[in-house]
Amino acid sequence: MLKGQFVPARPVPALPALWTGLAVTTTLAAGVLTASPGAAGAGGGLAVSRSVMVVAGVAVVGLALLGVMLPAGHKRAPAVLARVDRLTVIAAACWLAATVLLIVLQVADAAAGPVTAVGVAELAAWSTGIGAGQGMLLTAVAAAIVLAGAVVRLRRPALVPPRALLSGSAFAMITPAVTGHAAAADRYQLVSVIGVGVHVAAAAAWVGGLGALLVLVAPHRGLLVAVLPRYSQVATACIVGVAATGGLTTAVHVAAGHWAGHGGWEAGWEMLPGTGWGQIVLAKTAALAAIGALGWLTRRRMAASRTPLLRWAGYEVALMALALGAAAALTQAPS
């Protein structure tokens, strides 16, 4: 998505924390505005842990994607790849911890009891008895496997190639989504599951890849010039995938939901802005449009040498963080 020649800007070390904060704040705000379950209870623990889980998962996907895109023959690549490997361990550990915490909080919320009352039996029953629980369990297992692979890679890189971490992390990202709302749409189940899976995987690669690029590759002009065309190709495919599947899954939700049963298809679309789920979908759509416009503006300014590219790319990731927060809230918003 980002092409051309430019002068790299010095990245801000606090960017990942800023992006995470934006995502968490958006999740909390969207949850409160739409009266999502768990948005205000327990200090918003459900919303915060879900948002951190999403951000950490996206970070792992992005780091793994960067590991795949780094050119093996470039002199700067080994040092950057070593940083990628170390950060992947940290991000994967945060991902696993947030996932486990979210499972515990969800079990406590389902039982309407305190977290301290959650035992092994309750965890096992929830994690195996319903679709959402099974998806979270698969995510936790996959995140643990990715973490183990990342740790092994620190000592024996040849044993765990970046593509293996990318595949594992992408699988872990999509499991909660495809076992949640999508799996509940019986009439359109196959289309919905595939659409949501592609949507989540494409968004994670797009957002995570650009974030990793800004934080780790931006200071190295030569390496950035080598990696950017590869990322541009991936990002273009991801943008198309996110937009297409987002529209598809929204249409499926309207068609399969209770709106279509009260006045037909047209009435379902008319009722969309009046629901918490619909409001977040519209907010995500607006964010996607803004991100696309910002990407177009970035290319124009870059061609005219009017401003450093990476500053605008940082704004783009900030908008992406807002969209991630909305996506995290969407999974709990009442439809």
**75 has pLDDT over 50:** yes
d(CA 280, CA 284): 6
- What's this model's pTM, rounded to 2 decimal places? 0.78
Q: Can you give the pLDDT at residue 43?
A: 43
> Per-residue pLDDT tens for 179-206?
655 444 455 566 667 777 888 888 889 8
Which of the pair, 13 or 292, is modelled with greater confidence? 292
> Per-residue pLDDT tens for 26-50?
666 655 555 454 444 444 677 778 8
Q: Can you give the pLDDT at residue 15?
A: 62
Contact 61, 166 (CB under 8 A): yes
Q: Can you give the pLDDT at residue 193?
A: 74
- Beta-carbon count within 10 A of 148 CB: 15
